[in-house]
Amino acid sequence: MSFTGDLEHLPIVDVMQLLHQTRKSGILRVKGRKGESQLVFKDGYMVSANHLNNSIRIGKILVDLKIITPDILNQALLVQGEAGTERKPLIVTLIEQGLVNEEDAYKGLEHLIEMAVVEILTWKKGTFTLEVMPTSSVDDYRFYPGKLTKEINVDTQSVLMDALRIFDEKMRDGELTDEDLPEEEVSTIDSAPAGENESLLLSADDLGLADLEQLDRKIPDVFMVLADCDPGSSHRRKIEEAASDLPEAEREALVSFLESVSAAPPAAEGSAHRGGQAQAVLLFSADELVKHSVTTVCKHAGISVFATNDEQDLAPIIAQSLANNSLPVFVCDAPEKAGDGITAAKISALRQQHREKTPHICIIQLASPNDHAFALQAYRDGVRAVLPRPSREENSGTFASDMVGFLQTLCSYIEGIAAERRNYQFDSLKAGLDRLHVLREAPDVARTLLECVAGVFERSLTLIVRGEELVAERGIGVGAGTGREITPPLGYRIPLAQPSLLRRVIDEGKLYYGRGDDASVRDLLFATIGAPARASILLLPMRNRGKTLSITYGDFGDKELAPVELTLLEILASHAELVLENILYRKKLEKPDR
């Protein structure tokens, strides 16, 4: 059982929060240009991690935390050096020599986990894979099993908050840089001789170890960096593992196709964010070959794929994607390939459940070409399309060509869905621009912007900037029983704290869409209109001559989140500002001279 995805569209912070919320146990492998790092989870808590930076070692951490002095560290290293074949891990040596107590040792190891998280927070691109394991199996991946009596069990939320704080401080002080490098620099790194990149690889000392063989139980191979970076061998290895029953010629044909996809020029930069929104796929399948192949082909087209075979992952992944302003296309595998115990009736229930909760979601169902009843039921459940999936049991001799055709069709169909969404969004923009174009009075501009925002959000509100406060003007969907009608002027006032989210939007004049957990929003605005069920809010400023005149607020009320085309809203607000300026200029010209 596994869950895989792309960091570009589901950042590592969101992935870790997802694992914490769903109480997962297993190994999260995160691969980027620097190599691979692993975080080990037990019931949603972090119990172990590694670090790619050789300078981050347990001895240095203990000194930095002032748990030991440099002299004590040197003393322990001397003991280690004199131990010969009896040499033990540094942390164990410190404890046995009475130079540090276990509680302080745990603090150091917890900080090592924290620093490993700080490191991968710089990774903007890469992939992640969670290998879900039974809780009991995770114990094999603890730091020094059999050597330390207490298990490290770090609260993921706490470590994320601390890691983000440290990350911000280090970025501010110039101690960290973004992981993304110019293409020419990346190619230099990738093509360098093996010895020149050794500083990027994980050493035993990163875990506070000196000799792995001295452990009662060795740290598993999960803590070894994968040196194999050749896409062809990666495809071949995956196909050998997932489809060993196929004839060799069919396997080679699949490898050749996936190699050609990987070697071809990728989709244009930003194509995964067509129209400002990330295009993504949520694939529900237990078929490792399908997951690998779909991920490869879609990624090349600029489409991110999140794959899982645990039905409990679906709702959190959809919710996390919506929070990141992306609505994934839900691709569900056929019952016999979706996972153990996943029947046709179960899949039908899952489809209906997620359509009811997220009406905007687009569902594609995969089915056996001969399962007509299942395909017809899928259409009755409201799926967008039913695609026949290739079967290596029934057509092993033509499986490769069947698979190629299936992958190309699926990818093209998903791209078509994205194009339709863009066309709908541009139609909405054109309608808003047409309405603004005919306005002749200044108050009507803010009102039209309010109505356009209400077409996207469940609740919207115009906030007028007056000195050091905001005054609530009209709203839609605000207050009990208001429906979709525009309310009369509301009149309540919101003091502008300094600093605050509202103040920043006013001063910078830039659109904000994200969490509304700022104190000025939470304690003042939500106290009046009520907090929405989901934290994401819109603050859309309208300016004139460099000064913010109003903010149009939007949220989804008690509804589920939906994707928001922020670029089009910015265009709409910019046009509203031009219309307002023309109205004011015309009024000035029409005013008689005195």
Structural domain includes residue 488: yes
pLDDT at 61: 83
pLDDT at 176: 62
Total structural domains within the chain = 3
Residues 415, 477, single domain; the answer is: no
Residues 396, 306, single domain; the answer is: yes
The domain boundary, picked from 203, 223, 243, lies at: 223
Residues 414, 317, single domain; the answer is: yes
Residues 240, 338, single domain; the answer is: yes
Structural domain includes residue 569: yes
Structural domain includes residue 482: yes
Residues 445, 413, single domain; the answer is: no
Residues 543, 395, single domain; the answer is: no
pLDDT at 167: 76
Helix, strand, coil tally for the chain in percent (to 5):
50, 15, 35
Q: Are 141 and 20 in contact (CB under 8 A)?
A: no
- Which residues touch 396 (CB under 8 Å, ≥6 apart)? 245, 246, 247, 250
> What is the enclosing helix (H) or strand (E) of 524?
none
pLDDT at 374: 95
- pTM to 2 decimal places: 0.68
Residues of the domain holding 286:
231-424
C-alpha distances in Å from residue 99, one per residue of 61, 181, 504: 15, 43, 50
Residues 388, 464, single domain; the answer is: no
pLDDT at 228: 41
Q: Which of 460, 455, 433 is nearest to 572 (CA)?
A: 433
Q: Are 291 and 127 in contact (CB under 8 A)?
A: no
Structural domain includes residue 504: yes
Pairing status of strand 329-332 against strand 363-367: parallel
The domain boundary, picked from 184, 201, 223, lies at: 223
Q: Tell me the β-bridge partners of 536.
A: 515
Pairing status of strand 280-284 against strand 329-332: parallel
Q: How far is the C-alpha of 358 from the C-alpha of 327, rounded, in Å? A: 9
Structural domain includes residue 431: no
pLDDT at 409: 95
- Where the chain has pLDDT below 70, the residues are 1-2, 9, 51-56, 134-154, 176-232, 267-278, 480-483, 593-594
pLDDT at 200: 32
Residues 376, 491, single domain; the answer is: no
Structural domain includes residue 433: no
The domain boundary, picked from 223, 257, 291, lies at: 223
Q: Are 73 and 59 in contact (CB under 8 A)?
A: yes
CATH of the domain at 257: 3.40.50.2300
Residues 465, 394, single domain; the answer is: no
Q: Which of 494, 444, 501, 497 is nearest to 471 (CA)?
A: 494
| 148 dihedral zone (left: phi>0; alpha: psi -120 to 50; beta) | beta
CATH of the domain at 548: 3.30.450.40
Structural domain includes residue 498: yes
Residues 394, 525, single domain; the answer is: no
Residues 206, 305, single domain; the answer is: no
pLDDT at 378: 95
Helices (H), 438-455: 442-454
pLDDT at 154: 67
Q: How far is the C-alpha of 478 from the C-alpha of 476, rounded, in Å? A: 5
Residues 367, 261, single domain; the answer is: yes
Q: Are 494 and 502 in contact (CB under 8 A)?
A: yes
- Three-state secondary structure call for residue 558: coil
Structural domain includes residue 343: yes
